[in-house]
Amino acid sequence: MRVACIGECMVELVEHPDGSLTRAFGGDTLNTALYLARLGVAVDYVTALGDDPWSDAMVEAWAREGIGLQAVARLPGRVPGLYVIRTDAAGERSFHYWRETSAARDLFAASEAAAARAALARYDLAYLSGISLSLYGDTGRATLFEALNTLRKGGGRVAFDMNYRPRGWLDAAQARAAVETAMATADLIFASREDLTGLYSGNGVDALLRHRGRAEIVLRETRAGVAHARVFHGDDEAMIPAEPVASVIDTTAAGDSFAAGYLAARLAGRTPVAAAGIGHQLAGVVIRHRGAVIPKDAMREFQA
């Protein structure tokens, strides 16, 4: 069983109070791929990078984590996207992006489309997000959906995490159209209340549950300050709360790591309810540490 995680990894710069910068790498589906690899799942990252030193550093880091590189396209003369994180006096973080011409946006462009389609056909499961969809434009998204449908016709499955970020879209209507096509294509859908509210202004749960029975659905929401996963599988429905986390340091990648824990558990044959509990456990470990990618040693705190 081999998984393809589709999306973009960017250069991350964190600005400190003295004006100095710390470099890292970040991306939602990359975070999920990394945690899948740490959980023992065979996973490749499907993206496009440049031929620059930062792209080289990315693939070297992914290889050290055990992420497969066979579906990484390298585009001459191109570079990855970049974002800067600033933190104000009150501790509020802001993100500033330079990604309009990143190499990842051309993964499903005409010159690369045939190779990308062929690569995806080899996988047992493809995982992508709303952020992934926002990269490619209408023509690229059409090519991506063709590739995903081919994968499914060959017996593979598709997992889609809604992960809606308005910044990546012309407007909510464009995002809704793409997301609804992705939901109709997916066998497993992850969503959150925040995603649905942003896309549908309060009517999103009905839109999501139109896929109930056809697809497995995991809706993340917070009730009375506690994270819950509402899982729909066939005719069954269950609400699984997370164990409270006493010392939350950084919620970055909480959803990405939850998805990794859930997917790893389902691929191992665990039930949806058990998988939601494992997703909560992994996310609970991740949010007790700073940054999207926690130290490998910290993974010892995770007990599946």
Structural tokens at position 115: 């190779």
- Please check whether residue 60 lies inside any domain of the structure: no
- Please check whether residue 19 lies inside any domain of the structure: no
Beta bridge partner(s), residue 215: 212
Secondary structure (3-state) at 32: helix
Above 70 in pLDDT, residue 59?
A: yes
Q: What is the per-residue pLDDT across 163-178, written as a single tens digit (0 to 9) for each? A: 999 988 999 999 999 9
- Residue 201, pLDDT score: 81
Radius of gyration of the chain (CA): 18
- Please check whether residue 23 lies inside any domain of the structure: no
d(CA 246, CA 298): 16
- Residue 246, pLDDT score: 78
Q: Which of 233, 284, 232, 240 is nearest to 258 (CA)?
A: 284
Q: How many other β-carbons are positioned within 10 Å of the β-carbon of residue 111?
A: 9
Above 80 in pLDDT, residue 88?
A: no
The predicted model gives 16-43 an average pLDDT of 94
Structural tokens at position 224: 């009375």
- Please check whether residue 219 lies inside any domain of the structure: yes
The predicted model gives 71-99 an average pLDDT of 87
- Residue 125, pLDDT score: 98
CATH of the domain at 216: 3.40.1190.20
**304 — pLDDT class (breaks 50, 70, 90):** low
Q: What is the per-residue pLDDT across 234-292, written as a single tens digit (0 to 9) for each? A: 999 999 998 888 788 777 788 999 999 999 999 999 999 999 999 999 998 888 888 78
**91 — pLDDT class (breaks 50, 70, 90):** low
- Please check whether residue 92 lies inside any domain of the structure: no
Out of 28, 106, 161, 256, the active site residue is 256
Q: What is the per-residue pLDDT across 188-236, written as a single tens digit (0 to 9) for each? A: 999 999 999 999 987 789 999 999 999 999 999 988 788 899 999 999 9
Q: What is the per-residue pLDDT across 95-149, written as a single tens digit (0 to 9) for each? A: 889 988 999 999 998 788 888 889 999 999 999 999 999 999 999 999 999 999 9
Strand stretches in the chain, DSSP E: 2-6, 10-15, 21-26, 42-49, 72-74, 82-87, 93-98, 125-129, 157-161, 188-192, 216-223, 226-233, 236-241
- Count of domains in the chain? 1
**C-alpha dist (Å) from residue 109 to 87, 104, 288:** 36, 10, 39
Identity at 129, one-letter amino acid code: S
Q: Which of 266, 269, 263 is nearest to 34 (CA)?
A: 263
- Domain coverage including residue 230: 2-8+28-55+66-78+101-301
Buried b (16+ CB within 10 A) or exposed e, 182-207: bbebbbbbbbbbbbbebbbeeebbeb
- Please check whether residue 85 lies inside any domain of the structure: no
Contact 269, 44 (CB under 8 A): no
- Residue 11, pLDDT score: 94
Rounded to the nearest integer, the mean pLDDT of the chain is: 92
- Please check whether residue 291 lies inside any domain of the structure: yes
**3 — pLDDT class (breaks 50, 70, 90):** very high
Above 80 in pLDDT, residue 303?
A: no
Q: Is 106 a catalytic residue?
A: no
For residue 212, the 8-state DSSP code is B
Beta bridge partner(s), residue 94: 86
d(CA 108, CA 115): 9
- Residue 53, pLDDT score: 96
> Is this structure's pTM higher than 0.85?
yes
- Please check whether residue 94 lies inside any domain of the structure: no
- Residue 224, pLDDT score: 76
Above 90 in pLDDT, residue 154?
A: yes
How many residues does this entry show for the chain?
A: 304
d(CA 151, CA 162): 20
